[in-house]
A and B are shown apart, each in its own frame.
Chain A
Amino acid sequence: MKRSIPFLAGLAVALGAGWLAFPRVLYRSSPQPVNFSHKIHADKAGAKCEDCHAFRDDGTFAGLPTLDKCAGCHAAPMGTTAAEKSFIDDFVTPNREPRWASYARQPENVSFSHAAHVKRAKLACAACHGNTGAGNAPRPYQIDRISGYSRDIWKTPGMAHGMKMADCVDCHRRQGLEHSCLDCHK
């Protein structure tokens, strides 16, 4: 028994390091520029995803809203919270775009069509974006120090699947949909 103690100790240290320390080391965390609450906008303003994350007239997806969209309602402070004051002072008044970190940004070698998935396949936003739309405050953006990808490419809470190529292929196979390299890698 005594002879196995070093082995077990090594095993325990490796498991601890691999499961607890490694993820903390692997990801670099940075806060979002604005303490934005999806929940408040949904509950109090009745906003839906597509109100801010809109499709353009030509059917392409605009992605993150620009400051113009925010300033449409927040030209002056709406409320007295510190977050509201900070947003007005730091961004609206100086007309400075917040530099949002996109949890779901695809790499340069991928062309993903929101129109095909949202409009044609009727996929819910949460299927890929998880609980982001229900949060009271934005999660810190976590970036993989090695790959440079967002942590959200792996399945996170609320997501039906991850956002890696294998996830795309799996979903298309399950749905019996055709897919080829050039669909995404144009």
Chain B
Amino acid sequence: MFAGGSAVGVLFTPAPWRLITDTALWSENWPGIPAPPRGEIRARFTNCSLCTAGCAVRARCVGDQPVELAGVAGHPLSRGVLCPFGIVGHHLPFLPARLQSGPVPQAAAAVADGIAKCGPAEFVATLDLRPGRTASWTYRRAMKAIPNGRYLAPSAYTQAAVDLSKARTVLSFGVPVLDGWGTPGNVIAARAGFRLIQVEAVESRTASMADRWLRVRPGSGDALAQALAGRIPHSAAADATGLTIPEIDALANELEQSGPVLVLGSSQLASTGGTVVARRDTPVPDEWNQSAPVTELASLPDRSIRVLLIDESMPGGYLSWNTIAHKLVADNPVVVTFASSREGYARHANYALPVAVYPEVAADIPTAIDSVAAAFRISAPLVAPPPGTVSPEAFVAAAARLAIGDTLRERADAIHKSARGTLFTPADGKSQAVKNVTADDFWKALNAGGCWIDQPAAKATAARLTFAALAQQPVEEAELPLAIVLARELAPGLPLLSKVYQESNLRLAPGRVALHPACGLEDGSRAVFETLLGKCAAGVTLDPGIPPGIVLVSASPALLDLSGDGARAKVVRA
């Protein structure tokens, strides 16, 4: 009875409830959970290198650790805006899937051996997935120093720039204009000034926010472009795209009357009224100009690359492994990739070497597509890289026996020497002419998040509205029921926000495909994704915004290796 009374009594005291609460609180901080170090709170400035927008970043740091990233108000290019990736960029060094170590000496020896064995019809090549950087110039110089060296880069319209502020109509063929294309702050600022017409097979986020979404059949964008250019009848385009002839007539009239027009395709631009302009190059030291030219991978003969060095350290374009594999020699090619995770080319390379990631590494950022003037920004490191990481630039230079110094400083000095443009310093939000700044101060400002902006070219070159080469791959004839549409994401394999993606379905997470709910599969189930090139496992997301007969493929390397816009696939239960 005493025990019974005690048991009843204790329920009317705070003891049991507090014990439960306190145990729960204790579990939030129990040993093993890392605690961030304490220290002085200060703001540091840098530039985000997750994409070529290169948005200015104000990092709130506790001690040496950045704990919060935000935009820099008043910045002339990024205008105070950071995208969701940029806001969480300081998490990137902590990702569990990060490549931690690699066989660096063995890779260097294999590369040296491969270069020595390279035959007269074979090549040593560096594939640069983020061209336009100072490191890219080092690769070009290194490839010039190696007999049969080739510098490879995905084709891109780096010389042309888009002036969104002049556009009154933007016709986009699947380009994610409002979701990862260009500089977010600049696009937001210009959005009210243009009418956006999105031509796309699925209701992407840009399509849903566009003024008009023209839903076309996958791979039929080129037919519509050719019809608008007057090369094929509107009726033929209607057959190919699924649009009606009056819709195409109305679109043609709108483009005629609502200029200036900017047309964006996956790899080409067209414009009227000066919305596409030629941009001056960012200066480089004179001696750098004696370097290997940019070569497209497709121009090399099959089975010709003996040694391939791939720099995927910065998020950038992606070439499917099948495209690359055909170019490698049949007998023992040496493939080295510089990567932050095993998701990309590390799956196929002989050697995968770990690299520092944003915001650990000092690297410059190529000028964004929507910047009419060249820009030079350094992503100044906020934290130190972990031991064991490799500098791709130093590795490639060493392989070519090219002596390099502080290339970023040399580039900055060349820009300063040109005396062109202005320097924006984020700490005080002011701009001043470069000619009024000493070389040392210019360098210091760049390392403190500063930004050099060139004077716009004196004469803007306005291309005609030609719709040239907006080609997408034709639909293949095969017994595969689904047409593939590729999700345009920041960078294939970039694992940022993956957890949020998986839990929220805000975006199509890496390794997933999206299908119409009537496809016969269950949301969240595992499936096998199959094309003519092979098959791999994929997660299934059901989305009513995906029309029947289409599969939207996430931007993850394993899926991209099997896919292409307009190709066909089937997705079956695993």
- Which residues of chain A have a CB within 8 Å of any CB of chain B? 3-4, 6-15, 17-19, 22-23, 26, 56, 58, 60, 107-109, 111, 144, 146-149, 186
Q: Which residues of A contact B121 (CB under 8 A)?
A: none
Within 8 Å by CB of B15, from A6, A17, A107, lies A17
Within 8 Å by CB of A9, from B2, B19, B41, B68, lies B2
Residue of A nearest to B8 (CB): A11
Q: Give the distance to chain A from B382, nearest Cβ to Cβ, in Å.
A: 15
B10 within 8 A of A: yes
A8–B15 alpha-carbon span in the complex (Å): 19
Q: Mark B123-161, 1 if CB is under 8 A from A, else 0.
A: 000000000000000000000000000000000000000
Q: Are B14 and A14 in contact (CB under 8 A)?
A: no
Could you write out 23 A-B pairs with CB less than 8 Å apart?
Answer: A4-B1, A6-B5, A7-B1, A8-B5, A9-B5, A10-B8, A11-B5, A11-B9, A13-B5, A14-B9, A14-B10, A15-B12, A15-B13, A17-B10, A18-B10, A22-B15, A56-B41, A60-B60, A107-B28, A108-B33, A111-B68, A146-B19, A146-B22
Q: Give the distance to chain B from A163, nearest Cβ to Cβ, in Å.
A: 12
Q: Give the distance to chain B from A154, nearest Cβ to Cβ, in Å.
A: 9
Residue of B nearest to A63 (CB): B41
Q: Give the distance to chain A from B239, nearest Cβ to Cβ, in Å.
A: 49
Q: What secondary structure prevails in chain B residues at the interface with A?
A: helix
Task: Indicate the member of B7, B18, B23, B35 with the most A CB atoms within 10 Å.
Answer: B18
B29 within 8 A of A: yes
Known: A8-B5, A11-B9. 8 other contacts (CB 8 A): A6-B2, A7-B5, A7-B8, A10-B1, A10-B5, A14-B6, A19-B14, A26-B18
Within 8 Å by CB of B6, from A10, A26, A60, lies A10
Q: Are A14 and B8 in contact (CB under 8 A)?
A: yes
B192 within 8 A of A: no
B3 within 8 A of A: yes
A8–B12 alpha-carbon span in the complex (Å): 13
Q: Give the distance to chain B from A112, nearest Cβ to Cβ, in Å.
A: 13
A109–B563 alpha-carbon span in the complex (Å): 42
Residue of B nearest to A18 (CB): B13
B574 within 8 A of A: no
Q: Which residues of A contact B1 (CB under 8 A)?
A: 3-4, 6-7, 10
Q: Which residues of A contact B94 (CB under 8 A)?
A: none
Q: Which residues of B contact A149 (CB under 8 A)?
A: 22, 25
Q: Which residues of A contact B18 (CB under 8 A)?
A: 22, 26
Q: Are B22 and A10 in contact (CB under 8 A)?
A: no
Q: Are A147 and B25 in contact (CB under 8 A)?
A: yes
A15–B14 alpha-carbon span in the complex (Å): 9
A64–B25 alpha-carbon span in the complex (Å): 25
Q: Are B23 and A10 in contact (CB under 8 A)?
A: no
A9–B6 alpha-carbon span in the complex (Å): 8
Q: Are A109 and B9 in contact (CB under 8 A)?
A: no
Q: Are B36 and A108 in contact (CB under 8 A)?
A: yes
A144–B3 alpha-carbon span in the complex (Å): 28
Q: Are B2 and A10 in contact (CB under 8 A)?
A: yes
Q: Are A14 and B28 in contact (CB under 8 A)?
A: no
B469 within 8 A of A: no
Residue of A nearest to B21 (CB): A147
Closest 6 CB pairs of A and B: A18-B13, A10-B5, A14-B9, A147-B25, A7-B5, A10-B6
A144–B1 alpha-carbon span in the complex (Å): 32
